């Protein structure tokens, strides 16, 4: 079985390594060392995605987590109190998704230490998941033999199995107005901030319906208070479990931007990028049945849910791989109050250990 003390030590070590999206080199090196210490050969690509192959019985099982965290993730100082791990309050903890990484590492280590037969596996730790699944999207999946697997990258109650997630489109918008002196000749200017604000005021955002969401998350523009701002950039997204609804929502956002620009004499440039496709997994799939059985063996009733967030699973699904995303137990992710119970971290590691048992 798993070694809780060692598991916690590994997790605490990992979260103290800065791991912003695109800057995973140091943490990838540390994880590579841990895998190599288990006698495994580690492959990595130019982005620092890691693949380790575990020889064993049966068809290999994919075990996956991602190595990057959202900001602020520099200088994380984890605090363990009352059985819960938190950050010091000025950074995220990084449990999303280093708890998943640590759980897989400990489950694997415990299984190999036990000796005897075990299931073959392919361990895939990706980069840049938090910025649109870039690592998984650029991973050469043709080198993977596994056709089914488990991603340890969801939060909430342990026992949740994510069996569906939405498609996502991203938007990058440039509103081009005209600069002028704000005190001398403001009427000569076209205020790009006002144009953007008008567009946003007429744009449906947030929860559109039970399948669709939209957000504008970043706005940058303006140079000084005495200059009518001539340029504003916006970044946003739309998600939906229904492709037609996704297309319609993006078109609505574009129409609002174009109408605001037209009415003011401004120009607008809009770049739309399709990030990933939606997926759904049937409850009857062998991997879902297997996961459910192992959770029940741990005394935990599985709960199958549809998520509003994407994960590496979206990319694997595009390559005809049946991969389920399971909860590791972390909570309040993407915030400085992110935390995880040590007991949930231990259960996630035990699940990984169980999944590596020899096939029946």
pLDDT in tens, 250-295: 999 999 999 999 999 999 999 999 999 999 999 999 999 999 999 9
Residues 154-186 as b/e (b if ≥16 CB within 10 A, e otherwise) read: bbbebbbbbbbbbbbbbbebbbebbbbeeeeee
Rounded to whole angstroms, the Cα distance separating 176 from 267 reads 5
User: What is the β-pairing status of strands 148-154 and 322-327?
Assistant: parallel
User: Is 140 known to be catalytic?
Assistant: no
Show the CA angle centred on residue 265, arms to residues 264 and 268, nearest 5°: 95
Catalytic residue among 129, 153, 312, 344: 129
Whole-angstrom distance, CA of residue 336 vs CA of residue 240:
28
CA end-to-end span of the chain, whole Å? 19
Q: In the prediction, which pLDDT does 1 show? A: 86
- Which one of the listed residues 68, 148, 312, 338 is annotated catalytic? 68
Three-state secondary-structure class, residue 211: coil
CA dihedral over 140, 141, 144, 149, signed as positive or negative: positive
Of 207, 160, 153, nearest in space to 305 by CA: 160
Confidence of residue 50 (pLDDT cuts 50, 70, 90): very high
- pLDDT computed for residue 27 by the predictor: 97
Q: What is the mean pLDDT of residues 87-92?
A: 96
Q: Which of 175, 290, 186, 196 is nearest to 228 (CA)?
A: 186
Distances (CA, A) of 184 to 136, 209, 226, 337: 53, 47, 9, 47
- Specify burial of residue 220 (Cβ count, 10 A radius: 0-12, 13-18, 19+): exposed
Q: What average pLDDT does the segment 208-217 reach?
A: 98
Question: Do 170 and 237 form a contact (C-beta atoms < 8 A)?
Answer: yes
Q: What is the mean pLDDT of residues 102-126?
A: 97
Q: Is 36 labeled as catalytic in the residue annotation?
A: no
pLDDT band at 360 (very low <50, low <70, confident <90, very high): confident
* Mean local confidence (pLDDT), 307-323: 96
What's the mean pLDDT when you consider all of the chain?
A: 97
Task: Let me know how long the chain is.
Answer: 360
Tokens of 40: 């495994």
Q: What are the pLDDT digits (tens) for 130-187?
A: 998 999 999 999 999 999 999 999 999 999 999 999 999 999 999 999 999 999 999 9
Percent of the chain's residues with pLDDT above 90: 98
CATH numbers and ranges of domains, the chain: 4-165+278-355 (3.40.630.10), 167-276 (3.30.70.360)
> What does the pLDDT read at residue 242?
97
Confidence check: pLDDT of 113 > 90:
yes
Q: Cα–Cα distance between 124 and 20 in angstroms, integer?
A: 18
């Amino acid at each position: 079985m798993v070694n809780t003390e060692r598991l916690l030590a590994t997790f605490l070590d990992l979260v103290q390594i800065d791991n912003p999206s695109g800057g995973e080199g140091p943490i990838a090196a540390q994880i590579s060392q841990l895998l190599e210490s288990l006698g495994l050969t580690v492959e990595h690509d130019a982005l620092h995605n890691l693949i380790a192959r575990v020889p064993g019985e049966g068809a290999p099982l994919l075990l996956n987590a991602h190595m990057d965290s959202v900001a602020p993730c520099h200088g994380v100082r984890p605090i363990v109190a009352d059985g819960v791990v938190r950050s010091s309050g000025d950074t995220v903890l990084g449990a999303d998704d280093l708890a998943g990484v640590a759980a897989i590492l400990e489950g694997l280590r415990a299984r190999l230490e036990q000796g005897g037969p075990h299931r073959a596996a392919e361990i895939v730790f990706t980069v840049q998941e938090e910025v649109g699944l870039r690592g998984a999207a650029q991973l050469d999946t043709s080198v993977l033999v596994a056709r089914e697997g488990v991603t340890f990258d969801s939060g909430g109650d342990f026992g949740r199995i994510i069996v569906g997630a939405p498609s996502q489109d991203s938007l990058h918008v440039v509103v081009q107005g005209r600069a002028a002196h704000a005190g001398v000749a403001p009427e000569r200017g076209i205020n790009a901030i006002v144009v953007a604000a008008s567009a946003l005021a007429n744009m449906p955002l947030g929860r559109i319906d039970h399948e669709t969401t939209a957000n504008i998350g970043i706005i940058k523009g303006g140079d000084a208070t005495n200059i009518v701002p001539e340029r504003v950039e916006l970044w946003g997204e739309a998600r939906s479990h229904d492709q037609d609804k996704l297309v319609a929502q993006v078109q609505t956002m574009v129409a609002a931007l174009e109408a605001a620009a037209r009415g003011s004499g401004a120009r607008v440039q809009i770049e739309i990028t399709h990030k990933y496709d939606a997926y759904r997994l049937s409850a009857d799939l062998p991997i879902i049945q297997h996961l459910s059985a192992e959770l029940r063996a741990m005394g935990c009733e599985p709960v199958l849910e549809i998520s509003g967030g994407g994960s590496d699973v979206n990319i694997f699904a595009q390559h005809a791989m049946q991969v389920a995303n399971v909860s590791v137990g972390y909570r309040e992710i993407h915030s400085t109050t992110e935390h995880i119970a040590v007991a949930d971290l231990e259960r996630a590691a035990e699940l990984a250990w169980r999944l590596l048992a020899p096939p029946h």
